[in-house]
Structure 1
Amino acid sequence: MLAGPRHLVLVHGAWHGPWCWERLVPELERRGWTTSAVDLPSTWGNPGTGMHDDAQAVREHLESIDGPVTVLAHSYGGVPVSEVADTLPNVRQLVYLAAHMLEADEAVTSSLGGPWFPLEAETAPHLPPHEAFYHDVPAEWAAKAVARLRPQSARVFLDEQTRASWRTIPSALIVCDDDRSMPELFTQRALQSADVVRHLPGGHSPFLARPVELADAIDEVTFTLATVAGIRVP
């Protein structure tokens, strides 16, 4: 356990919202974490919203917190987090959960060689959600999650990062070994970028499928990052 108060900021991925953390937050609180969640504006149904609007939402949230924080980003959420985290003095660690770890001057679609949707599209389509996101999630929770998915602005996948905060902030990657949503290209690149790598069984949404195991993994990787960085631990 890290010394002193522990605040974990949760940043959801595309098409999702803060609701996706409902099963995970109680497990984190049982382990001594205080949590808060960012609601990315690109999923509010505004098709003109871009990645930099999401990054500003992350910035404002982090600026509102007094004291050191760890940020956990899921999937696309890794992009706006990487864009702003190292400009804020209270961010001590980053945890990328099945998340993008892009370089500066890269966008999600440029790394793929182009978008999977028409350039004029206002919202981005996703794969069938039960298979892509929730194939190992209990049926009741999977059905609730599908019903709560929101339109996702397509622009966020075209906008380029200008920074790569994982290069300067101690960062961990949690890989989901049966992830049917994250392209293998991104996972393989992230494996070379993170300071600490851990694996979980199952699919893209362990916060719904196995929240106990995910909370344990978050505890373990943040402890390891703190040890590597020389932060005092009990």
Structure 2
Amino acid sequence: MTTAENNKSTILLVHGAWHNASCWEKFVPELTARGRHVDTVDLPSASADAENTAGMYDDARVIRERVEAAEGLVTVVAHSYGAIPATEAVADAANVSRLVYLSAFMLDAGESIDSLSGGKFSGSDSATMSAFGHYEDPKTTFYGDAAPDDAERAASRLVLQTTRSFCEPLTTAAWKDVPSTYIIAEQDTALAPEFQEAMSARAERSYRLASGHSSFLSMPAELAQLITADADR
């Protein structure tokens, strides 16, 4: 595609576990300043409802609906867990031009976070999980390299994540048919850079950022420049 064609396309941002679309507040302006149309989605598996049972397939359905509603081509940028339902959602989407994995789970069909952890989550009796129970210090884990005020605000917005979303396996792997990019966060303490490195081997091309897990918060301008330059290749 030409730069003009890319500027007319949509970048759909898919957040990770425990988050919602508000996490992109510093990143969206950087993309729009570069002439990109941006859309976001709130995944049903992440909410304040302690009895929520929405799973990964529910998240994939919402992503698919947003992609189908878009005018023109769509670049899907998926962060962390969000890449799992994105991978499920866009395998047969004719208008998705690229799937970008941002410090993310780039899994194959049959895999889930639960299968990678040896069944850790499928044995849980709880419908939902708090990031503050899952990690010793989510603020540091997710936003350790962000400005303190930004990290504090982002941590205050974290919600509950359903256990089910970590257990449902992919039925397909979009990256086998959709052009894909992987962005490795070299200082990530939530998803080990070594794991990201292994996942990135599945992508058509990969890049590295000297950032923590949430580069959209700590390095929004650098990330926007990388993604738009990649789209213009």
- TM-score by structure 1 length? 0.91
> Does structure 1 residue 172 correspond to structure 2 residue 144?
no
Per the alignment, residue 99 of structure 1 pairs with 104
1:6, 1:32 within 8 Å by CA — same for their partners in 2? no
SS of residue in 1 equivalent to 2:161: coil
From 82, 96, 107, give the equivalent of 1:77.
Answer: 82
Per the alignment, residue 160 of structure 1 pairs with 169
Cα distance in 2, alignment partners of residues 189 and 83 from structure 1 = 20
SS of residue in 2 equivalent to 1:86: coil
> Does structure 1 residue 28 correspond to structure 2 residue 45?
no
Residues 79 and 107 from structure 1, CA distance in 2 versus in 1: closer, same or farther, beyond 3 angstroms?
Answer: same
Whichever residue aligns with residue 72 of structure 1, its letter is V
> Does structure 1 residue 37 correspond to structure 2 residue 40?
yes
Per the alignment, residue 181 of structure 1 pairs with 190
Question: C-alpha displacement at 1:116, in angstroms?
Answer: 5.7
Question: C-alpha displacement at 1:202, in angstroms?
Answer: 1.7
Aligned Cα root-mean-square deviation (Å): 1.5
User: What whole-Å deviation, never above 9, does each CA across 1:173-206 have from its counterpart, x for those lacking one?
Assistant: 0110000001456413312101111000120001
Cα distance in 2, alignment partners of residues 146 and 122 from structure 1 = 21
Whichever residue aligns with residue 13 of structure 1, its letter is G
Per the alignment, residue 219 of structure 1 pairs with 228
Per the alignment, residue 136 of structure 1 pairs with 145
2:121, 2:167 within 8 Å by CA — same for their partners in 1? no
Per the alignment, residue 121 of structure 1 pairs with 126
Question: C-alpha displacement at 1:138, in angstroms?
Answer: 0.4
Q: 5+ residue gaps in structure 1?
A: 225-234
Question: C-alpha displacement at 1:30, in angstroms?
Answer: 1.0
Cα distance in 1, alignment partners of residues 194 and 210 from structure 2 = 19
Question: C-alpha displacement at 1:111, in angstroms?
Answer: 1.7
Q: 5+ residue gaps in structure 2?
A: none
- TM-score by structure 2 length? 0.91
Residues 64 and 218 from structure 1, CA distance in 2 versus in 1: closer, same or farther, beyond 3 angstroms?
Answer: same
Whichever residue aligns with residue 39 of structure 1, its letter is D
Whichever residue aligns with residue 10 of structure 2, its letter is H
2:63, 2:85 within 8 Å by CA — same for their partners in 1? yes
Per the alignment, residue 89 of structure 1 pairs with 94
Question: C-alpha displacement at 1:47, in angstroms?
Answer: 2.6
Cα distance in 2, alignment partners of residues 181 and 116 from structure 1 = 17
Whichever residue aligns with residue 68 of structure 2, its letter is E
